[in-house]
Amino acid sequence: MTRHPRTVPAAGSRQVVLLLGGCSLWADELQRLVDPNEWEFVVVDDIDALPRRVGASRVRAILLPPRPWSGREIVVLRECRELSPGTAMVVMAEDPVDLPLKRASEHGATTFLRWPSSPEIFLQAITSGASPELPGRQARRKQVAR
């Protein structure tokens, strides 16, 4: 039996992790890393749907693929940060590439996660949402390695 790191969801509700784009390929593997009674993974195919999802549910993290983002997509990601500053923006990659990771950092990623990772490292990443900061200041960023 797989042991899951323990977290305590508020009011007994499951915490939500949104999987954008290519990250959806890892949904089944990710669910096995955490307690399914505490965490729910939701695949979001359209980046324009992120702000509505972030505003309408208990989203703890958004998992993003490391890729170049268009200006419009960057605006959407920033809107998500404004709606929920405590939501972790986690860039997941099997093979981190300097340029996409650097750009992700510039656009508000709070954590980078190399995949595959242990359950403990994964849980640390999805619970790493930056605390709200003064307007105009960039969010604190962390590097999570395996």
Per-residue pLDDT of 67-115, as tens digits, reads 888 899 999 999 998 999 999 999 888 776 655 666 666 666 778 888 8
The DSSP secondary-structure symbol of 26 reads: G
Q: Which fold has domain 10-131?
A: Rossmann fold (3.40.50)
Between the ranges 36-50, 60-74, 115-129, where is the mean pLDDT highest? 36-50
CA torsion, ordered 108, 129, 32, 116, to nearest 10 deg = 50
pLDDT digits (tens, 9 = 90+) for 1-32: 444 444 444 445 899 999 998 888 888 999 99
DSSP result, 84-141 = -TTSEEEEEESS--HHHHHHHHHTT--EEEESS--HHHHHHHHT-PPPP--TTPPPP-
Is residue 59 very low, low, confident or very high in pLDDT (cuts 50, 70, 90)? Answer: very high
CB atoms inside a 10 Å sphere around CB 89: 24
Are 95 and 122 contacting, i.e. CB atoms less than 8 angstroms apart?
Answer: no
Q: What are phi and psi of 83, to 5 degrees?
A: -65, -35
Asked if pLDDT for residue 38 goes beyond 70, the answer is yes
